Amino acid sequence: MALVDLVMPKLGEAIMEATVLKWLKNIGDRVQEEEPVLEIATDKVDSEVPSSVSGVLKEILYEENDVIRIGEVIARIETAVQENPGNDPLENALKQNTSITKPEDAVDEEHVQAVPYVPANTDTTRPAALEGTGANNGFYSPLVLNIARKEGIRLSELEKIEGTGNEGRLTKNDLLNYLADRKGSVAAPSVENKGPEASSEPPQMSTPPVTAGTKSSGNTEIIEMDRMRKMIAHHMKESQNISATVTSFAEADVTAMVNWRNKIKDDFEKREGTKITFTPMFIECVARVLRRYPMINSSVEGDKIIVKKDLNIGMATALPNGNLIVPVIKNADNLNLVGLAKQVNALGGKARKNKLSPDDTQRGTFTITNVGSFGSLTGTPIINQPEVAILAVGTIKKRPVVIETPEGDVIGIRHMMIVSMSYDHRIIDGAMGSMFLAEVVKEFESWDVNRVA
């Protein structure tokens, strides 16, 4: 027997502490390696802390709502070497993999060498490798294999489960969620929720769930804010208290962008396996202008201006429940349009599935919010602290406008969009803010309709 410390893992470069939301296990409960033990919350996202070993939870050192610093011991787990009778074909297959030794070894599911799926009734004398057709290539982690064997899941069924791990690998949580759905009552067919980063159509917002904090009286209903809504309210009000906010507006003719996207979007999706939306196109243009105006890519600490060399652009993403989160594309200026499109769609999908890691929302230096996804002409966005500026793009509308030509002015139908930018007047004056916004508009309007996607 041995006691193993379960410590608060590192959650992101700027995150130093987290709050205990809920213990998923009680003292005396058996836990498996990589099984979630408690839920925690940072100032951005909620996540789970998995057990690093298999054993019995012997001691809990923090209660719910306690704040824990990164690296501190949260709990202690008693472990013991598990005997392997050696008569299980799957266990024998696992033993043949030299990178996997004892079940109590603390191994990260995403970094362990994968072994092939071998059903319990399979002859182990056959070659071990299977030619899988799914994202896992026929290979799965030992933890996933153990669960699949115990639940009687065949390879054909396992390959159909969508994985959310590294390179699309199937994780333990993916499999457990699949089993929960399969064992539950027959659910209605799922409908893909297409948010502003995945489609030009806005997501359908659900009404706030009725909770224990909901009260009804006559013609009124009082709903307790959930934790994320409380945090959004705090951050938005705090931003207004910190920054001297000014908002400038401009109009952009984005006809070239619209026509180019309409021309290449089908071929782009077939070739790259992901959709091309306006968001990565906007990000590419903004990143080029940020390089020319480094003060916009900065923050303020007391009387000091901190100019950031990295261009980490956040994209405000609306969640189906009406809340908002801002995943960040790191070093956006180093990505081409294909890379930006994949990052936008991947982060947007993770956000809507509540799969964002704390690091996915950290170290942003500038934010873009697409209020046009919901039909708004424009908006006056609130700065995402500690950044000093945020750009809002409105809905794209066809309008008759005056076009200057060498032969004279003509009236034409163009795709027009209002762009607004809120910025911190403590360090960005109206001249700089207006010039930056004008340069962004020029980038939008000069989009090359003949470029190769």
Q: Domain with 58 in it: what CATH number?
A: 2.40.50.100
Query: Computed from CA positions of residues 227, 231, 233, 234, in that sequence, does the dihedral angle turn out positive or negative?
Result: positive
> Which pTM was predicted?
0.61
Say which residue, 171 or 392, is predicted with more confidence: 392
Per-residue b or e along 2-29, where b marks 16 or more CB atoms closer than 10 Å to that residue's CB: eebebebeebbeebeebbbbebebeeee
Is 205 domain-assigned? no
Task: Specify whether 75 is located in the same domain as 101.
Answer: no
Instruction: Give the percent of the chain with pLDDT over 90.
Output: 41
Task: Specify whether 299 is located in the same domain as 406.
Answer: yes
Mean pLDDT (whole number) for 52-79: 87
Pick the last residue of a domain from 21, 46, 79.
79
437 to each of 53, 88, 326, 429, how far by Cα in Å?
A: 53, 66, 21, 12
Strand 389-393 vs strand 366-370: parallel, antiparallel, or unpaired?
parallel
Is 192 domain-assigned? no
In angstroms, the first-to-last Cα distance of the chain is 59
pLDDT in tens, 135-165: 454 456 656 776 777 777 776 677 778 777 6
Pick the last residue of a domain from 53, 79, 105.
79
Position 24 pLDDT exceeds 60 = yes
pLDDT in tens, 90-132: 444 444 443 333 333 334 444 444 444 344 333 333 333 333 4
Burial (CB count <10 Å: 0-12, 13-18, 19+), residue 81: exposed
Task: Specify whether 61 is located in the same domain as 100.
Answer: no
Q: What is the CATH number of the domain that holds 245?
A: 3.30.559.10
How far is it, in rounded angstroms, from Cα 308 to Cα 365?
Answer: 7
Is 416 domain-assigned? yes
Task: Specify whether 10 is located in the same domain as 98.
Answer: no
Kindly give the interhelix angle for 255-272 and 337-352, rounded to the nearest 10 degrees.
80
For residue 268, report the phi and psi dihedrals to the nearest 5 degrees: -60, -45
| pLDDT at residue number 234 | 87
How far is it, in rounded angstroms, from Cα 148 to Cα 156?
Answer: 12
Is 200 domain-assigned? no
| 405: containing domain | 227-445
Task: Specify whether 55 is located in the same domain as 128.
Answer: no
> Which residue from 80, 79, 69, 78 is spatially nearest to 7, judged by alpha carbons?
69
* Mean pLDDT of all residues belonging to the chain: 79
Question: What residues are annotated to the active site?
Answer: 425, 429
Task: Specify whether 238 is located in the same domain as 327.
Answer: yes
Is 70 domain-assigned? yes
Is 219 domain-assigned? no
For residue 197, report the phi and psi dihedrals to the nearest 5 degrees: -90, -10
Number of domain units in the chain: 3
Task: Specify whether 140 is located in the same domain as 250.
Answer: no
Task: Specify whether 65 is located in the same domain as 110.
Answer: no
Task: Specify whether 173 is located in the same domain as 318.
Answer: no
Task: Specify whether 142 is located in the same domain as 258.
Answer: no
Pick the last residue of a domain from 183, 198, 214.
183
| pLDDT at residue number 333 | 94
How far is it, in rounded angstroms, from Cα 388 to Cα 10?
Answer: 27
Mean pLDDT (whole number) for 347-365: 88
Provide the Cα torsion 245, 249, 255, 258; round to 10°.
20
Is 259 domain-assigned? yes
Task: Specify whether 331 is located in the same domain as 421.
Answer: yes
Is 123 domain-assigned? yes
Task: Specify whether 60 is located in the same domain as 140.
Answer: no
